[in-house]
A and B are shown apart, each in its own frame.
Chain A
Amino acid sequence: MVNINRLILRKFRNIAGSRYEEILKSYREFLLTEEEMRIPRVDSVLLAIDRYSGEVPEGVFRLLEHYSPQKVTVIYVIDRNTYRLIRDTLGEKDAEKFRERESELAEKFLKAVSSALDAFGLNWSREIVFAEKTEYVEGLMNDYDVLVIGKQYGLESTKTHHISPLVFRIVQHVTKPVVLY
């Protein structure tokens, strides 16, 4: 682990000197504190995908290899809100058809990701979940150190917006590091 104290001390060695405590009191939000600068070890990674996420690039797997986490959990999220919308407008049968097709797609995507994780020697588990796409991921992040998510998760991109609004929300709410691809 990088020695954080040395960075803090060095930064102010020739600048603030003995005034460090005084400056810290007045401008805490701009300064590094030991607690804030602690880089936690990455032991667990959540990789959330859906039909819009696209292929996970090799660079992400190489990054995960660098983290060497004890566990990588890959989830494919089937959108419960879309299911409800189809059920309420087109009926139960069509809603179930949507769910079946999504499950087939999930299997295909998860197989590709799992193969890549195997190739990089990473321990993984996988799950297909039927949930609300943002809240579910945000909730799970209490138990993980890093979130990996595609910029298009939840919605296709447009010419003007390269990051989906769902990802916007997730990045703003999650307090852990987020890897966007």
Chain B
Amino acid sequence: MRILVLVDGSKWSQKAALHAFSVARRKGAKVVLFSVLDRKEVRAIAFHLSLRSENLEEIKRFEETAWEEMKKSVKDVITNLLELGREEGINCSFRIVEGSARERILEEANSGKYDLVVMGAYGKSGKTRIGSLLEDVVGFIEPPVIIVR
């Protein structure tokens, strides 16, 4: 069995990874930790700040720093999870891509390589209504999906 875990860095996605590990440990499934980095997230913040700033160059530098930090933060989370998974004897690997989260997730989840997708019920904003996530992403994922709380 091959399990795809969607990791956005949030605690919910980390919990999803642990759930996947607990499934994988029993019968030796392979776990792939998958993360999508969307630069639009930091660009949107930078744009709003630019409206209030006289120094556009400073905002651009901020955007670049925020983007690098975003990448580093997700890599840290993935590295921690990988170490933990490997210590537990789980066959796990990772994949970090850039682009639109919805598109890249659907592309990967529906690639035919996975028997199961595991994801957290909420994202980086913490506990919110999960309706849009269900409608926009889960509804289009072909393999069975576990939503972890």
Contacts and interface: CB of A to CB of B under 8 A. Distances in A.
9 contacts: A2-B88, A29-B126, A37-B18, A63-B1, A68-B26, A151-B138, A167-B134, A177-B148, A180-B146
Interface of A: 1-4, 6-7, 10-11, 15, 29-32, 36-37, 39, 57, 59-60, 62-63, 65-68, 151, 161-163, 167-168, 171-172, 175-181
Given A7-B80, A7-B84, A32-B11, A161 B139 contact: yes
A163 B15 contact: no
Contacts of A66: 1, 23-24, 26-27, 29
A10 B85 CA distance: 13
Contacts of B81: 7
Interface of B: 1, 10-11, 14-15, 18-19, 21-27, 29, 76-77, 80-81, 83-84, 87-88, 115-116, 124, 126-127, 129-131, 134-135, 138-140, 143-149
B139 A32 contact: no
A180 B84 contact: no
Contact of B23 (A1, A7, A67, A168): A67
Contact of A11 (B25, B27, B80): B80
A30 B11 CA distance: 6
B109 to A, nearest CB: 12
Given A11-B77, A66-B23, A68-B26, 12 more contacts: A10-B84, A11-B76, A11-B80, A29-B127, A37-B14, A57-B144, A63-B144, A162-B135, A177-B149, A179-B146, A180-B144, A181-B144
Nearest to A147: B147
A7 B14 contact: yes
Contacts, number: 111
A115 to B, nearest CB: 19
A175 B146 CA distance: 13
A171 B144 contact: no
Contact of B140 (A36, A65, A162): A162
A31 B139 CA distance: 28
A141 to B, nearest CB: 12
Given A11-B80, A59-B143, A162-B140, A37 B15 contact: yes
A2 B126 CA distance: 23
Nearest to B21: A2
Contacts of B147: 171, 177-180
